[in-house]
Structure 1
Amino acid sequence: MTSAPASLFRTVMGDAFERLHPQLRRRFSVGLDSGEACTGRGVMDRIWHGGSPLVAPFLKPFFALGATRNVLVPRTGRAIPFTIENVPYRDSFGRETVTFVRTFAFPGGPRRFDATMVLDPRGDRILDYLGTHQHLASELRPTAEPDGSLLIRSGIHRFREGPVDVRVPALIGGDAEVREAYDETTGRFRIRVRVTNRRFGPLFGYEGTFTAAYHDVRSCGVRAGLRPVREEIRA
């Protein structure tokens, strides 16, 4: 009997990984061990920004700034075509890395929200680097829900730029919650992302469905422009 591929998610979740729906197990087994990359294509039914009428104007500059480094989604909309590319590779520090590059095809031009994931040195969580320059890093804790869906919650966020390495205060940071499930009826993955601030409430999110196709990473490789411009070693 051959052992199952040791992906980032399987390593962190342990036996709980087996409680995921089989389609989710395959999607989150993408890695160097499996030799597979995954491309999801679908539609986001809704992409939204939150904030009270008093707070929302102050959020706009953060969305605009984040968009320059492919962090956050600066626009809202409905029925927006969506692609997510999960490709494993070994980064310049020798770590197994998986891309989570999301492209939203808004009218007038696409917007990207880039992330690359590695195993935290402690081995009990995933480290999620955000953006083209990996300025932001978040701890992710995935769990299997009773219905076979996957729930991912973020933990501590850190900001890195040159010698600067600081924890993002909860007052200005966002707590992310990602829920992904597989719908047997439609044969599609369902995803819902919600980011909230502990003081100001919901900040942004999106929800929709997509299908997945798998590719041999040894033959397709990592396409140009998918990897970050700068890689960060600090965990």
Structure 2
Amino acid sequence: MTSIFAEAIGVDFARLHPMMQRRFSVGLDGGEACVGRGVMTEIRRGPWWTVPFLQIGKLRNILVPAVGSDVPFVIWNRPYRDPFGRETVTFVREYEIDGRPARFDATMILADGRIVDYLGTHQHLAVDLDLTVDDEGALILRSGEQRFYEGRFGFRFPMLFSGRASLREHFDERDGRFHVEMRVDNERFGFLFGYRGSFTCEWMPAGEAPAHVIPHRHESRV
């Protein structure tokens, strides 16, 4: 049994910390899902002129424009098979910032040996992900080429109007928690958005993914 992440990472998957291996073995073959609950120690954004990028992303749950500290959040990692027969794993994050809900939607598939991350409620943005493992058994994620799809239209999304994400996630045996740090940078305008925090996971049978974590629309193109 293997997950889409194990296939994408290859032999280095075994170098992940065992708890990281379990978390990224979530899938239909393994029959396991998980829900993480924790706190974002910090959610921050760049200068005032980065706000338009974030507000555009907010429209379809692609970015979170609000900032805050000690923000409660939940992340839903639920596998399911999409309408095109592809195994899909949700990475839906729900926040509550100053009493206001916010959400970041992502769903991931395996295509041609790489992970493609569909962002937003309607999978408008498809992003290639590069996954590697560092010497401490942490997962390193870097985003690459992005493509925008809407109806019959599709084009490579210009990076001038978007950002590249870099993320590190690891498991700390001292506190029994997963720790994550992420930032998004624009090639010309610099830092756009980032967060850091930690969480614990509740493991459960894969079952049927809850309706509220499934995209409103699925995109067949990768």
TM-score in terms of structure 1 length: 0.92
Summarize the alignment of residues 28-107 of structure 1 with structure 2, pairs less than 5 Å apart: 28-51=24-47, 56-57=48-49, 59-107=50-98
* Separation in structure 1 between the aligned mates of residue 7 and residue 100 of structure 2, nearest angstrom: 37
Give the CA deviation at 1:198: 1.4
1:216 to partner: Cα distance: 0.6
Deviation at 1:63, TM superposition (A): 1.9
Aligned to 2:18: 22
Moved over 6 A (4+): none
Distance 1:234 1:154, change over 3 A: same
| 1:164 partner letter | F
Kept in 1, the 8 Å contact 2:53–2:161? The answer is no
Structure 1 residue 172: Cα displacement: 1.9
CA distance in 2, matches of 1:67, 1:158: 18
Q: CA deviation at 1:62?
A: 3.0
Cα distance in 2, alignment partners of residues 66 and 147 from structure 1: 33
Q: Matched residues in 2 for 1:18 and 1:229: separation?
A: 35
What is aligned with 2:215? 228
Q: In structure 1, what is the equivalent of residue 187 of structure 2? A: 198
Compute the displacement of 1:69 (Å): 1.1
Aligned-partner Cα distance in 2 for 1:164–1:211: 40
Contact 2:53 2:162 in 1 (8 A): no
CA RMSD of aligned residues (A): 1.0
- Cα offset, 1:170, TM superposition: 2.3
Query: In 1, Cα distance between the equivalents of 2:166 and 2:184?
Result: 6
Question: How many corresponding residue pairs?
Answer: 222
Contact 2:46 2:193 in 1 (8 A): yes
> Residues 171-223 of structure 1, C-alpha deviation per residue, up to 9 Å, x if partnerless?
222111110001110100000011111111111010000001110122xx211
User: Structure 1: which 5+ runs fail to align?
Assistant: none
2: distance between equivalents of 1:143 and 1:178? 11
Q: Gaps (5+ residues) in structure 2?
A: none
Identity, % of aligned pairs?
53
Q: Distance in 2 between matches of 1:170 and 1:62?
A: 12
In structure 1, what is the Cα distance between the partners aligned to 2:145 and 2:81?
A: 24
